[in-house]
Amino acid sequence: MKTTSPSLSYRDAGVDIDAGDQLVENIKPFARRTMRPEVLGGIGGFGGLVEISKKYREPVLVSGTDGVGTKLKLAFELNRHDTVGIDLVGMSVNDILVQGAEPLFFLDYFACGKLDVPAATEVIKGIAGGCEQAGCALIGGETAEMPGMYPVGEYDLAGFAVGVVEKANIITGRDICAGDVVIGLASNGAHSNGYSLVRKIIERSKPDLNAKFDGERTLADCIMAPTRIYVKPLLALMQSLTVKGMAHITGGGITENVPRVLPENVVADIDSQTWQMPKLFRWLREQGNVAEQEMYRTFNCGIGMVVIVSKENAATAIAQLNAAGEQAKVIGAIRARNGEEHQTQVK
C-alpha cells in the first residue's frame, strides 16, 4: 500500500517567515528615526534609494564594511545584545570618516540558525542607535535564518556604510610633514578589536564578569562598552580647519593603523605617557602577561581615533573637540623618517 509523506513547510525546515516579518515590523520605528532628506524610500523594499545632495559639486562615494568579530561570543555568553549593533555601525562609519566622508546610509546583514526575535530586535535597535549617532540613515538590510549554519543562540553581523566627500576635500595624508601634531581622541574601551585575545585572557583568569570593576561599572560593562562614534565632532572640525590625516584605531592597534595615513618619509612618535591607559587595558596586560608593545599593536589602549594637524592648528582643534564632548589631547608629533624604521613609534 502506498503511503503519503506529510506535507512539509518552510517552518518545518527551520525557517520562520512570520518571525522574520515580525522583526521587520519591530525595527521600522528605529530605522525611521535615522532617515535623511536624501533617502527616497523606507525599510521593506528590494533596495534602498538614496540621492546625492546637491551641495556637492564633485561628489565621491566612500564605502566601508566590517563586522563585530569575536566580541559577539561574549555577547552570547552574557546575553547582552543591545550594544553590538553600535559596534557594527561604528567600525564602518569611523573608517570612511578618516577619508573625510560624511556617512550617508548603512545596511546590515544579520545571520542566524534560528531567529530569536527579541534578541534580534535589540541588535538592530542598537544598529539604528549607532546610525543616529553617526547621522546616517539605516535604509535596509538582510535577516538570514539558516538552520544548521549557526549554533543555537548565536548569530553573525556584517555592516556596510556609504558616505560622500567633495573630491577636492578627500583626506589622504599626503600633506603630513615633520612638525605636525598628533592628537588622540579617547576610546570607550576595546571597541571591537582584539577580542580573541580578550576571550583568551578571560578563559585563563576566570574573573567574575559581574563584579564591580571600574567605579559602578562591572567588568562585563567595560568589556562590552560599544565603539565610540566620532563622526559628528570630526565632520565639524573638518569644516573649521585643515585636518591633514586621521587614523581609526582598529585591529592592529596604534602601531599598525597610524602608518596607513602617513607619507613614506615621516614617522609618528607617540608618547604613551601623555594619557593614562584605562583600567580595562591595564587589567588585560596584567592578567594576560601581555608585552607592552604587543598591547599597542593589538588594542587601542585608550585612543580610538588619531587626528593629525599642523602645529598652528593643534590648540584650536583640541579646544573644539573637547567642547564637542570628546577627550582630546596631544599624544605625539610627526618627524622625518630614518631609513626603513617603522612609521609609528610608541614609547
Confidence (pLDDT) at 67? 96
Confidence (pLDDT) at 249? 98
Q: Provide the grid cell at 98.
A: 578618516
Give pLDDT < 50 ranges for the chain. Answer: none
Over residues 184-204, the pLDDT tens digits come to 999 999 999 999 999 999 999
Determine how β-strand 102-112 pairs with β-strand 137-145: parallel
Over residues 126-175, the pLDDT tens digits come to 999 999 999 999 998 999 999 999 999 999 999 999 999 999 999 999 99
SS3 assignment, position 143 = strand
Q: How far apart are CA 268 and CA 255, in angstroms?
A: 9
Confidence (pLDDT) at 184? 98
Residue whose entry in the numeric block shows the C-alpha cell 587595558: 281
Over residues 299-319, the pLDDT tens digits come to 999 999 999 999 999 999 999
Name the phi and psi angles at 324, rounded to 5.
-90, 5
Residue-wise DSSP of 266-317 = EEEEE-GGGSPPPHHHHHHHHHHT--HHHHHTTS-TTEEEEEEE-GGGHHHH
Confidence (pLDDT) at 8? 61
Quick one: which H or E segment has residue 19?
A: helix 17-32
Q: Provide the grid cell at 170.
A: 578627500
Show Cβ contacts of residue 31 under 8 Å, excluding neighbours closer than 6 positions.
42, 43, 128, 138, 139
Structural domains present in the chain: 17-169 (3.30.1330.10), 181-346 (3.90.650.10)
Show Cβ contacts of residue 4 under 8 Å, excluding neighbours closer than 6 positions.
none
Confidence (pLDDT) at 31? 76
Q: How far apart are CA 183 and CA 154, in angstroms?
A: 39
Confidence (pLDDT) at 3? 59
Residue whose entry in the numeric block shows the C-alpha cell 587614523: 247
CA quadruple 73, 74, 78, 83: dihedral sign:
negative
Q: How far apart are CA 341 and CA 270, in angstroms?
A: 14
Q: pTM of the prediction?
A: 0.93
Closest CA to 178 of 244, 271, 100, 248: 244
Q: What percent of the chain has pLDDT over 70?
A: 95
Beta bridge pairs of residue 186: 303
